[in-house]
Amino acid sequence: MRGSNEYVGVSPFQAAGILRGFVISGRWPVSTKEWAQLLALAVRVATLPGILRTSTVFGVREELPDDPEPGTVGLVIAEGPVLGESAITPGRFESHQPPAILMLHPPSETTPSLPECIGAASGCVLLPGLPDLGLEHRAAWVEAEADGTVTSMVSRIGIDPISDPDTAVLAMLLTS
């Protein structure tokens, strides 16, 4: 992804065969378009068999991993699944609100937009704003197939988080 002279580098990482997050290098995305591009890459990773077992929330952290590679700017970390015994709970982000929060859905939990897209994964990124200060909420949604084909990509500025199930869940996690 390119927005200025420096690229946004995205490297997925896993533990025990499960997607645990992404290392971001170069610089952070600066626009809704760049966050949508990062989401598209994350959704493509989520199509890999078994890498993501259930719908999972990922939080952006502007902290560095232990022993970072040169140019590393932060992490996008798996915070927890959306449902189940170990589901992420409201209030998780009350002490530190991330600048962006993502939700990825594996193929088993994605209803594809087209019948021929069986096996597609999907996701959403919410960039919370401060509506009282005139900074609108922004979001993007992506669906992609295992071969890397992006079958749907939508981004919006000025969204009402309650208008979409994914953004509603993400906003609830941020505001609780």
C-alpha 9/C-alpha 37 separation (Å) is: 11
Q: How far apart (Å, rounded) are the C-alpha atoms in residues 36 and 2? A: 12
Query: Given this model, what pLDDT does residue 134 score?
Result: 52
Q: Is 158 part of a structural domain of the chain?
A: yes
Q: What is the pLDDT of residue 151?
A: 94
Query: What is the structure's pLDDT at 133?
Result: 53
Range of the domain at 62: 9-175
Q: What is the DSSP string of 137-166?
A: -EEEEEEE-TTS-EEEEEEEES--GGGSHH
Question: Residue 122: inside a domain, yes or no?
Answer: yes
Domain-located, residue 170: yes
Whether 103 is in a domain gets the answer yes
pLDDT at site 176: 57
pLDDT score, position 92: 79
In a domain, 4, yes or no: no
Q: What is the pLDDT of residue 130?
A: 58
DSSP state for residue 130 in the 8-state scheme: B
> Quick check: is 54 in a domain?
yes
Considering the domain boundaries, does residue 2 fall inside one? Answer: no
What tens-digit pLDDT sequence spans the chain (176 residues)?
A: 544 558 999 999 999 999 999 999 999 999 999 999 999 999 999 999 999 999 999 999 988 888 888 999 999 999 999 998 889 988 778 778 888 999 999 999 999 988 888 899 999 999 987 555 556 789 999 999 989 899 999 999 888 888 899 999 998 888 75
